Amino acid sequence: MKLIIDTDAGVDDAHALMMALACPDAQVECITTVVGNIDLENVVRNVGTVLDVMDVDVPFYRGAHLPLVAPWRFETEFVHGSDGLGDLRQRPPARHFPADGHAVTQIIERSAAAPGEITLVAIGPLTNVALALRLDPDLPKRLKRLVVMGGSLHAVGNTDIFPAEFNIYCDPEAAHMVFEAFTDILLVTWDATLANPLPTPVFEELTSQPGPRAALYRDSCEGMLKRLEEAGYEAEVLIPDTLTMAVTLRPGLIVASERHHVAVELRGSMSRGQTITDHRSWVRQTPNVECVTEVEIGGVADLFRQFVAPV
Backbone conformation region of residue 210, classed left if phi is above 0, alpha if psi is from -120 to 50, else beta: beta
- Grouping H, G, I as helix, E, B as strand and the rest as coil, residue 209 is coil
What is the Cβ-side half-sphere exposure of residue 72, based on CA atoms within 13 angstroms? 23
Choose the one of ligand RIB, Ca ion, none that binds residue 165, judging by a C-beta under 5 to 8 angstroms depending on kind.
ligand RIB
Cross-strand pairs, 122: 6, 148
Q: Which of 235, 4, 261 is nearest to 121 (CA)?
A: 4
Q: Which of residues 95-124 bind ligand RIB (CB under 6 A)?
A: 123-124
303 in Cβ contact with 249 (< 8 Å): yes
CB of 42 to ligand RIB, least distance (A): 13
Of 13 and 29, nearer to Ca ion (C-beta) is: 13
In the complex with ligand RIB, the residue whose CB is nearer, 167 or 257, is 167
Containing 176, the helix (H) or strand (E) segment is: helix 172-181
Q: Using CB under 6 A, which of 19, 30, 34, 36 touches ligand RIB?
A: 36
Q: What is the DSSP string of 55-67?
A: T----EEB--SS-
Single out the residue of 42, 167, 242, 275 in contact with ligand RIB (rule: CB under 6 A).
Answer: 167
Nearer Cβ to ligand RIB, position 111 or 193?
193
The single residue among 165, 171, 191, 265 that binds ligand RIB, judged by CB under 6 A, is 165
CA dihedral sign of residues 284, 286, 291, 294: positive
Which positions from 236 to 275 touch Ca ion by CB under 5 A, shown as an x/- string?
A: -----x----------------------------------
Asked if residue 161 lies in contact with residue 271, where contact means CB atoms within 8 angstroms, the answer is: yes
Is 83 an interacting residue with respect to ligand RIB (CB under 6 A)? no
Nearer to ligand RIB, 190 or 307 (CB): 190
Dihedral sign of CA atoms 88, 310, 11, 172 in order:
positive
Nearest residue (CB) to ligand RIB, 127 versus 158: 158
Alpha helices by DSSP H, 81-171: 103-113, 127-135, 139-142, 166-170
Say whether residue 241 binds ligand RIB (CB under 6 A).
Answer: yes
Query: Residue 190 binds what, of Ca ion, ligand RIB, none (CB under 5 to 8 Å, by partner type)?
Result: ligand RIB
Which residue in the shown chain puts its C-beta closest to Ca ion?
13
Which three-class secondary structure state does DSSP give residue 27?
A: strand
The residue among 12 and 265 lying less far from ligand RIB, judged by its C-beta, is 12
Which amino acid, one-letter code, is at 86? Answer: G
Applying CB under 6 A, which part among 5-13, 173-181, 207-215, 282-290 lies near ligand RIB? 5-13
Nearer to ligand RIB, 126 or 143 (CB): 126
Residue 153's Cα: distance from chain center in Å? 17
d(CA 303, CA 311): 15
Per-residue x/- marks for ligand RIB, 121-160, CB under 6 A?
Answer: --xx------------------------x--------x--
How many Å apart are CA 37 and CA 166, to the nearest integer? 9
DSSP string, 188-234: E-HHHHHHSPBPHHHHHHHHT--SHHHHHHHHHHHHHHHHHHHTT--
* Residue 265 in contact with ligand RIB, rule: CB under 6 A: no
Site map for Ca ion, 110-129, x if CB under 5 A? -------------xx-----
Measured between alpha carbons, how far is 1 from 225 in angstroms, rounded to an integer?
33
- Contacting residues toward Ca ion, per CB under 5 A: 8, 13, 123-124, 241
- Contacting residues toward ligand RIB, per CB under 6 A: 8, 10, 12-13, 36-37, 123-124, 149, 158, 165-167, 190, 240-241
